[in-house]
Structure 1
Amino acid sequence: MESGDNSKKALAEALNALLADYYALYLKTKNFHWHITGPNFREYHLLFDEQATELIATTDLVAERVRKLGQYTLTSIGSIAATQRIKDHDSTSTDAAMMLKELHADNETLITALKAAKDFADEAGDNATDGLLDDWTDQAEQRAWFLAATIGNA
């Protein structure tokens, strides 16, 4: 196998890890959207839904980049669970402040992973993926900023 093939495979693996993280963060964000209560219910309910919508929309773009590299994507909930770095959150009674803090931390984790994936895109000479990673990083930074600003107001 040529080094170019190896670098594309490594990039695809990094993208699949991101794909798992996007799904995990999406589901956690929806969990919080469904279970938020308290005086800021409407604001947080809408914020979480808006962020979840952006997360799920990105999953298809990530998966299609993997396929364009000639590799296979994750195929099931099990493959997501085996690959994700974002931790699940199964509680339905988490308070709003903790929800905001956890989503902020998870978006920061995602930002770190997105930036790390850029190294793989550079090594593979994949300018298209490199540019998309910049866009996805900007989106994650905006989500983190909104959450951080909301935490400051909580």
Structure 2
Amino acid sequence: MKVNIGISEEQRKSIAQGLAVLLADTYTLYLKTHNYHWNVTGPMFQTLHTLFEAQYTELAVAVDDIAERIRALGEFAPGSYKEYAKLTSIKEAEGIPSAEEMIKDLVKGHEAIAKTGRSIVPTADEASDEVTLDLLTQRMTVHEKTAWMLRSLVA
């Protein structure tokens, strides 16, 4: 059936394209965070292992929320590594960095996602898409707070 939610098809497609990038960024950061959870070593092991687990768990829920919003807008959500690699602004880690480098890398990832979310706001705002705006506000809040907390570990 045709989607009739008060947002034009063109606007829905544009918003969904932005959300596809947000989804790719979020999934890529999820994978990176999970990798760091498994492979962190050093004196902060227990703290970081636990922290990274909480973060990747939150990101897994976010992936679902973002993909479901894309579907509610009437578009298909990307769902493969190949598609994510084309869309994401987050670089994959090479090798196993030190614990401090992991933290710094995750800060960059969370900041990148906050920027991606912010870039979608004007399009969603113009379409009066309050649902997407709410999702974006929630995501930016989480990523900005997480980046701050991670930065605090490496002062």
Give the C-alpha shift of residue 75 in structure 1.
2.7
Residue 73 (1) aligns with residue 107 (2): no
TM-score (norm 1): 0.92
Cα RMSD (Å): 1.2
Q: Which residue of 2 aligns with 1:147?
A: 150
Query: Aligned residues: percent identity?
Result: 37
Distance between the aligned counterparts of 2:149 and 2:50, measured in 1? 12
Give the C-alpha shift of residue 90 in structure 1.
3.5
**Aligned equivalent of 1:84, options 64, 88, 91:** 88
Q: Which residue of 2 aligns with 1:110?
A: 113
SS in structure 2 opposite 1:70?
coil
Q: Which residue of 1 aligns with 2:3?
A: none
Following TM superposition, the consecutive aligned residue runs of length 4 or more in structure 1 with deviations greater than 4 angstroms are none
Distance between the aligned counterparts of 1:34 and 1:27, measured in 2? 11
- Give unpaired runs (5+ residues) of structure 1: none
Please give the per-residue CA displacement for 1:68-119, whole angstroms capped at 9, x wherever unaligned: 1111110312111121111111313x10111111100111111111111111
Q: Which residue of 2 aligns with 1:128?
A: 131
SS in structure 1 opposite 2:77?
coil
Q: Which amino acid aligns with 2:140?
A: T
Q: Which residue of 1 aligns with 2:140?
A: 137
Q: Which residue of 2 aligns with 1:35?
A: 39
Distance between the aligned counterparts of 1:80 and 1:31, measured in 2? 17
Distance between the aligned counterparts of 1:85 and 1:124, measured in 2? 25
Distance between the aligned counterparts of 2:29 and 2:120, measured in 1? 18
Q: Which amino acid aligns with 2:109?
A: D
SS in structure 2 opposite 1:90?
coil
Distance between the aligned counterparts of 2:108 and 2:91, measured in 1? 11
**Aligned equivalent of 1:58, options 39, 43, 62:** 62
Aligned residues between the structures: 149
Q: Which residue of 2 aligns with 1:100?
A: 103
Give the C-alpha shift of residue 4 in structure 1.
2.4
Distance between the aligned counterparts of 2:56 and 2:141, measured in 1? 16
Distance between the aligned counterparts of 1:71 and 1:124, measured in 2? 16
Q: Which amino acid aligns with 2:101?
A: M
**Aligned equivalent of 1:5, options 9, 16, 32:** 9
